[in-house]
Chains A and B, each alone.
Chain A
Amino acid sequence: MGILEVKGVGKRFGGLQALGDVNLSVRENTVHAIIGPNGAGKSTLLNCLVGKLIPDTGSVLFSGQSVLGRKPHEINQMGISRVFQTPEIFGDLTVLENVLIPCFAKRDGAYRLHAFETVAHEAEINAQAEAMLKGVKMWEKRAAHAGTLSRGDKRRLELAMCLAQGPKLLLLDEPTAGMARADTNATIALLKEIKARGDITMVIIEHDMEVVFSLADRITVLAQGTPLVEDEPEKIKGHPKVKEAYLGEAH
């Protein structure tokens, strides 16, 4: 039994069957990649996992509990964090504040009226945020406005924000999309570091095969809304079905 169990999930948008009958089992503390050509339903699947979309059929269990019908903030409080294709950060806030918010969210839950406490006086929270920022080598930039950071720095900050909550499952939607080579390499290195800690499960959606093969323990290939094959990276590389789905039948 995996930490994340997707059973028979289907989703239809009007006349388009975006997801057919997806079954997926992600084991704890592994990295599971989902690859597939454009329009294969990767993002739809991810959106079903975080409560942004509700599938028409099937079930999604996280640690044995259903996530379906819960709001995004409730699913997050269960221990699922998400990294977006375009980094979603608080652009008007400073880098430090960006990390303080998830630290507060972890301690205080979905809502707390802490209107007459002072951010600067929360020693424990500030120490946590400092450690998180140092972990992604962003501490020097803590006073900068997050909106002014480079793409690679925004991604690092977003990862630090997700990790600050100590999630059990981290979902990454094309974490290196639109990045320069150097930033991509730095992001891969950082993700490897996170993986090496061995206390977090990751599900990655990615186009860049270098990223996938350097990180993933297991790969699911999705095509036209249904899983084609699921196996270890080495076996996926030469799989005829995968070649067919990606490159067309001519090859």
Chain B
Amino acid sequence: MLGLGKRDLIFLAVVLALTLAAPVLLNPFAENSGLAQFNAGYPDLMQRIAIFAIFAVGFNILFGLTGYLSFGHAAFLGVGSYSALWMFKLLSLNIIPGIILAVIMGGVFALAIGYVSLRRSGIYFSILTLAFAQMSYNLAYSVLTPITNGESGLQPDLGDPRILDAASSSGSVPPTNIFGLAMSETWKVDFLGRVFQFNAGYYVCGLISVLMFYLALRIFRSPFGMMLRAVKSNQNRLNYTGLNTRPYMLTAFVISGMYAGLAGGLMAAMDPLAGPDRMQWTASGEVVLMTILGGAGTMLGPVLGAGFIKYFENIFSKINDHVLQGWFSVFPHWLQDLLVTIFHPFMGKGWNLTLGLLFMLVVIFLPGGLIEGGNRLMRLTRRRRRDDGPRPSEAPAE
């Protein structure tokens, strides 16, 4: 079914179920308990996780399969955001035309940048993509201000023509919507002291990300995906097997650019404000981090990486000295102060320091990323179980 084998189909069903249930699953702690700050089940964060999952899954099609490390994918993200916003301003606050244009523009830019950058491989390819992304960033700041509105960012305002739905609004700019259903629409359900928030915007992002995950799964299992892995493995042999690697690479680059454009479009749809910062190299670096942290070349790795980084970024930046003091209040005063001083640089604004350390640990001890960590744990428990007693029904470990 759906062109997938049985195992992949189950895999996809699990991903879909987790996505649908995320507002409940990510909100395990009661509202008034001390652990409530570790909840992740609010719309803003879940939207971001879903959007960055799309970005990382697309990036993984290029980096994970072919091994070509692009350092400029944020450019496509930014292009997607600006395209979507122009659609919101000119056409309608319905997000669909905006998202479609975002995907197309992401693809067009990727075609142009990829055509030039793919003339080189290895570090030179990375530098070329980085250069293009920084150029886009600087253009958005300076020359292209009429299109991007420079530093203050682009957003819909009352003076916009909005050909399709201008008549319906007066007084203030209405929210972005999908056929009238506002992205900010949230149903709150109070259950056992926990407040579950079911947000329209999250479900749009979540369902699109599952669809994108499915497409990526198809690409991984296709002859095309196999050729891309062959590029990573031995380009020389691929050429001497009668295959032209260039168009294969370019297609992979364009597909991943379209994923990035889609992510940018969704970002604009959730929060209609786009600034040039979205294209900066730190944003490009972030998706590289996500993919490697989760596990490059695996299906689930980039999703895990995106969720991991976005979740901890959010949690850590909320932990200030006051919270730390609360944690260590059981210790004597001097020890409490000492511990707070030690942990202070890693929390709040120092989150990037923690992320850096985590990233180093993963790269050194788990080169395959979080996925490899999970696999190792699984193998370990399986071996334990086998030591406890033979289980004839179990399939032998690989």
Contact = CB atoms under 8 A, between A and B. Distances in A.
A101 B218 contact: no
A120 B221 contact: yes
A120 B234 contact: no
B11 interface: no
B219 A76 contact: no
A77 B241 CA distance: 8
Interface in B86-102: none
A158 B204 CA distance: 48
Contact of A92 (B3, B221, B232, B243): B232
Nearest to A143: B398
Contacts of B317: none
A223 interface: no
A115 B224 contact: yes
A139 B398 CA distance: 19
Contacts of B224: 112-115, 117
Nearest to A87: B237
B242 A73 contact: yes
Given A114-B223, A115-B225, A88 B243 contact: no
B223, B225, B226, B230: which has the most chain A beta carbons within 10 Å?
A: B223
B242 A76 contact: yes
Q: Name B's interface SS.
A: helix
Contacts of A121: 3
Contacts of A92: 229, 232-233
B234 A115 contact: no
Contacts of B221: 118-120
Interface residues of B, number: 32
Interface stretch (A37-45, A103-111, A243-251): A103-111
Interface in A82-107: 82, 88-93, 97, 100-102, 104-106
Contacts of B5: 120
A34 B122 CA distance: 36
Given A71-B239, A121-B3, A116 B233 contact: no
A81 B237 CA distance: 10
B234 A72 contact: no
B126 interface: no
A118 to B, nearest CB: 5
Given A76-B242, A118-B218, A93 B236 contact: no
A165 interface: yes
Given A115-B224, A118-B3, A119-B222, A101 B238 contact: yes
A95 to B, nearest CB: 13
Interface stretch (B20-28, B187-195, B244-252, B328-336): B244-252
A115 B243 contact: no
Nearest to A147: B233
B56 interface: no
A100 B243 CA distance: 13
A116 B3 contact: yes
Nearest to A82: B240
Contacts of A221: none
B237 A88 contact: yes
A114 B230 contact: no
B209 to A, nearest CB: 18
21 contacts: A50-B240, A71-B244, A72-B240, A82-B240, A90-B230, A91-B234, A93-B226, A93-B233, A97-B226, A97-B230, A104-B223, A104-B226, A108-B223, A109-B242, A111-B244, A112-B223, A117-B224, A118-B4, A118-B221, A119-B221, A119-B226
A-B pairs, top 5 by smallest CB distance, nearest first, are: A76-B242, A115-B224, A110-B244, A90-B233, A92-B233
Given A97-B230, A114-B224, 8 more contacts: A72-B240, A73-B245, A76-B241, A101-B230, A101-B241, A116-B215, A117-B3, A119-B221
Interface of B: 3-5, 215, 218-219, 221-227, 229-230, 232-234, 236-245, 247-248, 251, 255
